[in-house]
Structure 1
């Protein structure tokens, strides 16, 4: 299976082969800031199965684990499309929303539930 994730304007893309190794929903405060929502959802694919295309800007920040995370976003529209967590060097995370696919596999892992907004569904 081949899936295509794109930014809002379509300039930055990530073509992903196969099924994700895992899909995680994160309630951490940094994901809330990055997405502008109450959580972020990432599909983690083996690095060899992700082919980025287009121009990307990078932003690096420390993750909750203390390891860095490098985010790749479109310089035109600002959408985050994929990121590279240093603590998982063999995987690339791709924003599930960037696939724009309502049939995308659901999260199998939920992290930082302690930061979940009280009004958000408990998933």
Structure 2
């Protein structure tokens, strides 16, 4: 059984922004939507979803950007103002959850994605052996 009191630290590339989260992620996922491709500058995003209350400490300043995610819905991207790393996201569609960029943990043993969202928009060579949506 996973240790619900264990903590993980996610940090930006320059180290100015750090968040400490308690517990295990609800799920890990990859997303190949066009927005995630643009935001990451890659073919997909790799993220871990946590309960919003999982953040037990935050050090450093942030820069937030809101974008529309469909009719009447928004998503907030929380970045480091110095290096620009997208550390986490929160939004209406996530409810009381937040989505943390897995690369910010620097943990090679982090759980693999269990789902690929917006598979219809993925690059032709991307082949993840996970269930797909959209």
Contact conserved, 1:14 with 1:82, CA < 8 A, in 2? no
Q: How does 1:1-123 map to 2 (within 5 A)?
A: 1-50=6-55, 51-63=57-69, 67-123=73-129
TM-score normalised over the length of structure 2: 0.86
TM-score normalised over the length of structure 1: 0.93
Q: Aligned equivalents of 1:86 and 1:5: distance in 2?
A: 22
CA RMSD for the aligned pairs?
1.4
Q: Which has the larger radius of gyration?
A: 2
Q: Aligned equivalents of 1:89 and 1:47: distance in 2?
A: 9
Runs of 4 or more, structure 1, over 4 Å off, are none
Unaligned ranges ≥5, structure 2: 1-5, 130-134
CA deviation string 1:24-45 (max 9, x = no partner): 1000000000001000011111
Q: Aligned equivalents of 1:20 and 1:2: distance in 2?
A: 11
Unaligned ranges ≥5, structure 1: none
- Name the count of aligned residue pairs: 123
Larger RCO (alpha carbons 8 Å, 6+ apart): 1
